[in-house]
Amino acid sequence: MPAAYDGETVTRRGLFTGGAMAAGGIATAAFALPALGFAVGPILEDAAEENFQDVGPEADFNTNTYVSKVISLPESEGTGEAGKTTIYLRRTDEKRDTDELGQLYIAISTRCTHLGCPVRYVTASERFICPCHGGVYSFDGKVSGGPPVRPLDRFETKVDRGRVLVGDRFSLNSKLERKKPRDPSNHLDGLWQYLYPSRPTT
Amino acid sequence: MSLLPKSTKRRGGNGNGSPAESEATGNGPQIEGALLRGGERRPANGNGNGNGNGEGNGKVNTQALKETATEIPIQAISWLDERTGGSSTLRGVLLRKVPAHDWSYTLGSAVLFAFVSQAVTGVFLAMYYDPSATQAYRSVQHITDEVFMGELVRGMHRWGATVMIILLFLHLGQTFLYGAYKYPREINWVIGVVLLVLTLAMGFTGYLLPFDQRSFWATIVGVNINASGPVMGPYLADFLRGGPEFGAATLSRFYAIHMLLIPGLMAALIGAHLYLVIRLGTTAPPWAKAKKRRELSREEI
């Protein structure tokens, strides 16, 4: 394109071509970006509000063995039966439990920390056993065999007027130190823990 | 020939006026003219302008009827072709030259057939399926047990998925072993690998939809395998679940991905894949040798 006059840097045609492309780009971005944000939005949403559920009177639980209870996960609302999960509860045994979590009742999540299958407590061996890939956990939820990467997650507990209440889930490293909740398969020990930072949703 | 639509406007034609001759030439060349030869799309009509045969003798001219019956589809095709140019495209696609080949060259078409079969059965399954966490399992039971031929259509979709993945890997192996990924067909290899990944993603998202115990836990495990990727993994898992926990949003997400997002991408990529196959042609099998140039004989020199 020859310039209309000396020293012209942008031709009329160039300006219109650029303008039309910019208008098209803006129009596309105007629907594409909100749609994309709509699709990925859930990864940025904050964790649900703290939520405590009553699982029974204190008399239901003891220090020797686990009692199973069913709670519903607040984030899984609307999934019917699928949104419910079994947890295992017992009272802290001061001689056996040397962790510093300071909870009178221990509520163990049944979600295997390998890939999330439901573990089962076997009373005879005092172990949690996962049916999917052979993960085994000891009485306090620490890994004693198989592929899991960290101890079983736990739930907050508190006692209110003689009833035991179960709250949010949290994760633990191998020393049973409290961490923000993670997905199964996310390590919380050694150098590995830096590859799995906590997220806004948890 | 009064039954024939007026043919005076047509050019071309070999100018033979007698119906006998026109029958002798047969309709073969005319069909070929309509379908095959782009340059001579207007069919050569041998009948010229009404030649008086059959007029006035009062009885039904069966030969004219016969000719009319064969003429109408040819005319319909040339009408279409004149307006779309479809015949030259179809000729380029369907009648292109291919090297001497074996049956393994049909694997790509087999995968395409599997894809089309999945698309058709999937569309019809969607008419009865309900992607809500509380109704999904019931609606799949309804399809299997109560809808007429529902078991068959669902079975075709369910087993067809496996067949498609087997065929895909055979197609991939054939392409690899025959060296068909080499210059200038690298882009087609890349597109093919993307299609493979998308097909596996179809398998993963489709597995959840029956929403029974097996699909529920398989998806939990599958999503957590995604979560095991360092740094980005947990975010990817959140994206797939639509939040930190497997919930009602997860099923509708998987459903949308399974029946809208990935099939659209796949259809577009299959189009690109086929375009490149037609543009570049297929590779000759590795054992095919170029013909040796024959020594010229003394006489020929």
Q: Per-residue DSSP letters for chain A? A: ---SSTT--S-HHHHHHHHHHHHHHHHHHHHHHHHHHHHHGGGTSPPPPP--EEEEEGGG--SSS-EEEEEE-GGGTT-GGGGEEEEEEEE--TTT---S---SEEEEE-B-TTT-PBPEEETTTTEEE-TTT--EE-TTS-EEESS--SPPPEEEEEEETTEEEEEEEEEE-TT--EE----TT---SGGGGGGS---TT-
Instruction: With CB atoms and an 8 Å threshold, state whether A117 touches B220.
Output: yes
The kind and range of the H/E element at B138 are helix B136-145
Q: Which string of DSSP letters, residue by residue, matches B83-123?
A: HH-HHHHHHHHHS----S--GGGGHHHHHHHHHHHHHHHHH
Q: What are phi and psi of B267, to 5 degrees?
A: -60, -45
pLDDT band at residue A72 under the 50/70/90 scheme: confident
Give the Cα separation of B146 and B16 in Å (integer).
Answer: 65
Question: CA of A76, closest CA in chain B: separation in Å?
Answer: 4
Model pTM score: 0.76
Task: Please tell me which of the candidates A42, A78, A132 has its beta carbon nearest to residue B238.
Answer: A42
Q: Does B249 touch chain A (CB under 8 A)?
A: yes
How confident is the model at residue B26, as a pLDDT?
A: 42
How confident is the model at residue B128, as a pLDDT?
A: 95
Task: Please tell me which of the candidates A45, A78, A185 has its beta carbon nearest to residue B247.
Answer: A78
| Beta strand residue intervals within chain B, DSSP E | none
Three-state DSSP class for residue B293: coil
Q: What Å distances lie between residue A6 and A1, A18, B39, B249, CA to CA? A: 13, 21, 51, 62
Q: Which residue has the tokens 């039971």?
A: B141
Q: Mean pLDDT across chain A, nearest whole number?
A: 89
Give the Cα separation of B290 and B284 in Å (integer).
Answer: 10
Q: Cβ-count burial of B94 within 10 angstroms (0-12 exposed, 13-18 middle, 19+ buried)?
A: exposed
Instruction: With CB atoms and an 8 Å threshold, state whether B225 touches A115.
Output: yes
Helix-, strand-, coil-residue percentages of chain B, each rounded to 5: 65, 0, 35
The kind and range of the H/E element at B252 are helix B248-256
Q: A5 or A18, which is more confident?
A: A18
Q: Does A184 touch chain B (CB under 8 A)?
A: yes
How confident is the model at residue A2, as a pLDDT?
A: 59
Is residue B200 a contact partner of residue B257, using CB atoms and an 8 Å limit?
no
CB count in 10 Å sphere of residue B98 = 11
Nearest CA in chain A to B136: A79
Instruction: With CB atoms and an 8 Å threshold, state whether A182 touches B231.
Output: no
How confident is the model at residue A188, as a pLDDT?
A: 93
Is residue B163 a contact partner of residue B115, using CB atoms and an 8 Å limit?
no
Quote the tokens at residue B224.
């957590």
Q: A172 has which bridge partners?
A: A178
The kind and range of the H/E element at B64 are helix B62-84
Interface of B with A in 198-217 (CB under 8 A): 211, 216-217
Give me the interface pTM, i.e. the ipTM.
Answer: 0.81
Residue B135: its chain A contacts at CB < 8 A? none
Question: Residues A8-17: what's their mean pLDDT?
Answer: 88
CB count in 10 Å sphere of residue B120 = 14
Angle made by CA atoms B236, A202, A118, in degrees to the nearest 5: 80
Question: CA of B165, closest CA in chain A: separation in Å?
Answer: 25
CB count in 10 Å sphere of residue B257 = 19
Write the pLDDT tens digit of every residue in A77-136.
667 777 788 999 999 988 888 888 888 999 999 999 999 999 999 999 999 999 999 999
Question: CA of B188, closest CA in chain A: separation in Å?
Answer: 28
Which residues neighbour A110 within 8 Å (Cβ) at sequence distance 6 or greater?
A85, A86, A87, A88, A118, A119, A120, A128, A152
Residue A76: its chain B contacts at CB < 8 A? 245-248
Is residue B236 a contact partner of residue A192, using CB atoms and an 8 Å limit?
no
Q: What Å distances lie between residue B49 and B7, B22, B33, CA to CA? A: 7, 13, 20
Extract the residue ranges of chain B whose pLDDT is less than 70. 1-60, 291-295, 300-301
Is residue B224 a contact partner of residue A116, using CB atoms and an 8 Å limit?
yes
Instruction: Name the CA dihedral angle for B267, B273, B278, B282, rounded to a multiple of 10 degrees.
Output: -140
Nearest CA in chain A to B247: A76
Among residues B263, B276, B284, which one has the least CA distance to residue B121? B263
User: Which amino acid would we find at residue B211?
Assistant: F
Among residues B30, B40, B67, which one has the least CA distance to residue B51? B67
Task: Please tell me which of the candidates B221, B227, B241 has its beta carbon nearest to residue A132.
Answer: B221
